Amino acid sequence: MTAADLLHTAISFDAFSSLGVWINIGIIAGIFTIFALGLQLNVGFTGIFNFGQAGFMAIGAYTMAIFVTKTAPSIGLDPDSFLTLMLGLLAGILLAMVFGLIVGMPSLRLRADYLAIATIAAAEAIRLTTVNAQDLTEGPQGIFGFLTGFDPIEDGIESAVETIGWTDPESTFPLFLVVWVVALTLTFVLWRLQKTPWGRVLRAVREDEDAARALGKNAFSYKLQSLVVAAGIGALAGFFLAINLQFINPDSFLPQFTFIGFACMILGGLGNYWGVALGAIIFQSVFEGMRFLDDIGISETQLSALRFIVLGIVLIALMAFRPQGILGKREEMVLGE
């Protein structure tokens, strides 16, 4: 049974015993782990309220897709090769980091609440550009056909899995494996980075910017570095989102996605890198799992509404009762002033 069949399965709870469904949920949880690791670096460890992560994700995904489908053929690269896909990913990450610089330079000097508004506005300006700059982005129709470069990886993993005895593995398993290897590696790298002098300065900036400055640290520069790195991480998440969806359009980058990332991050624990994966798995099991509940007598629109109502309630309840999440420590928390 393919994933497409599953989406049309009328009887609900059967879906939850299917491995394919859980692998799909796992892929999304992995993508949001990567996405929210960037948020964790900004919000949890530097104390800057980046509400525009979906915008950086959009830049990563769109740059890759445009590079592979449009730029590569015109400069003589094979759009179907793995190398081109990787160059597209690299271009996406770099461009997102440049945007991080452009957004951060003026706005990181602002008060926290203004920064939140400025970053969400920047992300929306990016998304509206993808809607309207149709020559480049194909507008609401979206971009297809950048996926072939990923095939060698999928085939390689599939045959490796078959040799160790899993006959006929799920077709989505290779992506699942790649996403989680990247997510956990990134978690480890960030966790190690936090223990370096660089990481400690970030935390000092979060705790008391003036004190960090008094010790001769350029707080603004550290905040900018944090945002730029997070923007690159957001682009990486956008790359995997594009691979998983097999096409991208502006609706994949609504501001909602930033807040799904916030829900994952805070559920796991603010100021805890390993919590991000935990939060993403728990949250996405519920949030994506709800897609498969379709014999409860409500329409598809209502079901999709219900999922976002759950997102809202999770955010409200966390903020009201456990703002530090599952693994976070209350004394580690600096939730604004």
Partner 1 sequence: MLIFEGGLPDGGVAIAGLLVSTVVAIAVLSQIQGRAPAIAGVILVYLFCVLIAYNGLQAVAERGFIGLSTGSVFALGAVGLTLVYGILKLVNFAHGDLLTFGAYAAYVAYVFWSLPFVIAVAFAMALTALLGIGLEKGMWAPMRRRGAGLLQFILMSIGLAFVIRYGIQFFYSTDLRSYGLNRSGSVGFLEDWFGITLGTTQGIVLVGGLIVLVLTGLMLRYTLLGKRMRALSDDLDLAETAGIDTTRVITWTWVLAGSMAGLAGVAAGAITQLQPELGFELLLPIFAAVVLGGIGNAFGALAGGLMLGLVIEWSTLFVASGFKNAIGFLVLIAVLVIRPQGIFGRERSI
Q: Which of 145, 251, 316, 330 binds partner 1 (CB under 8 A)?
A: 316
With binding defined as CB under 8 A, does residue 120 bind partner 1? yes
Closest separation in Å from C-beta 255 to partner 1:
8
Structure token digits, residue 303? 């079901």
Number of residues that bind partner 1 (CB under 8 A): 51
With binding defined as CB under 8 A, does residue 196 bind partner 1? no
- Are the beta carbons of 336 and 115 closer than 8 angstroms? no
With binding defined as CB under 8 A, does residue 334 bind partner 1? yes
With binding defined as CB under 8 A, does residue 128 bind partner 1? yes
With binding defined as CB under 8 A, does residue 150 bind partner 1? no
- What is the 3-state secondary structure of the chain? CCHHHHHCCCCCHHHHHCHHHHHHHHHHHHHHHHHHHHHHHHHHCCCCCCCCHHHHHHHHHHHHHHHHHHHHHHCCCCCCCHHHHHHHHHHHHHHHHHHHHHHHHHHCCCCHHHHHHHHHHHHHHHHHHHHHCHHHHCHHHCEECCCHHHHHHHHHHHHHHHHCCCCCCCCCHHHHHHHHHHHHHHHHHHHHHHCCHHHHHHHHHHHCHHHHHHCCCCHHHHHHHHHHHHHHHHHHHHHHHHHHHCEECHHHHCHHHHHHHHHHHHHHCCCCHHHHHHHHHHHHHHHCHHHHCCCCCCCHHHHHHHHHHHHHHHHHHHHHHCCCCCCCCHHHCCCCC
With binding defined as CB under 8 A, does residue 136 bind partner 1? yes
Question: What is the pattern of x (binds partner 1, CB under 8 A) and - over residues 24-63?
Answer: -------------------x-----x--------------
Distance, in Å, from the CA atom of 219 to the CA atom of 65, rounded to the nearest integer, reads 35
Pick 151 or 209: Cβ nearer partner 1: 209
Q: Which of 2, 132, 185, 218 binds partner 1 (CB under 8 A)?
A: 132
Q: Which of 196, 218, 302, 330 binds partner 1 (CB under 8 A)?
A: 302
Q: Which of 73, 309, 329, 330 binds partner 1 (CB under 8 A)?
A: 309
With binding defined as CB under 8 A, does residue 116 bind partner 1? yes
With binding defined as CB under 8 A, does residue 312 bind partner 1? yes
With binding defined as CB under 8 A, does residue 296 bind partner 1? no
Q: Which of 152, 181, 305, 330 binds partner 1 (CB under 8 A)?
A: 305
With binding defined as CB under 8 A, does residue 267 bind partner 1? no
Distance, in Å, from the CA atom of 309 to the CA atom of 278, rounded to the nearest integer, reads 21
With binding defined as CB under 8 A, does residue 287 bind partner 1? no
Closest separation in Å from C-beta 257 to partner 1:
12
Calculate the dihedral angle through the C-alpha atoms of 211, 214, 216, 222, rounding to the nearest 10 degrees: 40
Q: Which of 308, 326, 327, 332 binds partner 1 (CB under 8 A)?
A: 308
Distance, in Å, from the CA atom of 290 to the CA atom of 262, rounded to the nearest integer, reads 19
Q: Which of 114, 144, 166, 188 binds partner 1 (CB under 8 A)?
A: 114
Q: Which of 242, 311, 325, 328 binds partner 1 (CB under 8 A)?
A: 311
With binding defined as CB under 8 A, does residue 113 bind partner 1? yes
Using the contact rule CB under 8 A, the part of the chain among 56-64, 201-209, 239-247, 297-305 near partner 1 is 297-305
- The position carrying tokens 């095939």 is 151
Contacts to partner 1 by CB under 8 A: 43, 49, 106-107, 110-114, 116-118, 120-122, 124-125, 128-129, 131-136, 256, 259, 262, 266, 299, 301-302, 304-306, 308-309, 311-316, 318-320, 323, 334-337
